[in-house]
Structure 1
Amino acid sequence: MTNRFDECMRMMRRRDPQAREDGFWTLRPHAAEHLDELIAAFRTEEDHGLRCWLLELIGDARSPEALPILVEHLDHEDESFASWAATGLQKLDTKEARTALYRHRANNAHN
């Protein structure tokens, strides 16, 4: 049996926009089950759009294990990564996530 994650990643890499969307939406409800794989794929992926999707899926996992990568990208120079990291921290909604968001907003209010 084909691994769901691998199949969805294959779909998300296709040239066909509908296949790409289908891969994303198939994986989304299972993001928490594949968090480690999502983080590993995010760290090695070179395609910007796919990296954004992967970071979005990492946030969708709503797992405390996602906290470090989300915090790491909260101040990223690429606004897309920073935005998905902030969204993921809001979804996580733990004390640590809220603290990271508070600090980020406080630091950026002074810049």
Structure 2
Amino acid sequence: MTVRITENLSIDLDREEWCCVACNHRLAKARKNYKTGCLVAEVPMKEAHPPMLEGAAMSFSPHPDFCRLVEFYCPNCGTVLENEYIPPGHPLTHDIELDIDALKARHAAGDAS
């Protein structure tokens, strides 16, 4: 049984694996951080946040010494699964941690809400 967790992530409860919703590619074990199974790309701040006024003397981009934009993609179909702003050198966040056993019990009992 597959349960949708976010717009682009689901969990296969039988195999206990994170999956891409778009292509059903298996990313990582559901008890682990799904991001470990993703392609990861850092987007330059000036590309993500170009100056709002052409020829503006001041850039409105966050300073790359203090902030970076990291994107996570499905390695099979390229769907963007998540993105986050974190300081340089900061480890990737573990933003979703579910009680897999409780989720399985709820679905086995027919409570899909």
Q: Give the TM bin, normalised by the shorter chain.
A: under 0.3
Q: Choose between structure 1 and 2: higher strand proportion.
A: 2
Q: Choose between structure 1 and 2: higher helix proportion.
A: 1
TM-score by length of 2: 0.20
TM-score by length of 1: 0.20
Bigger relative contact order (CA 8 A; separation at least 6): 2
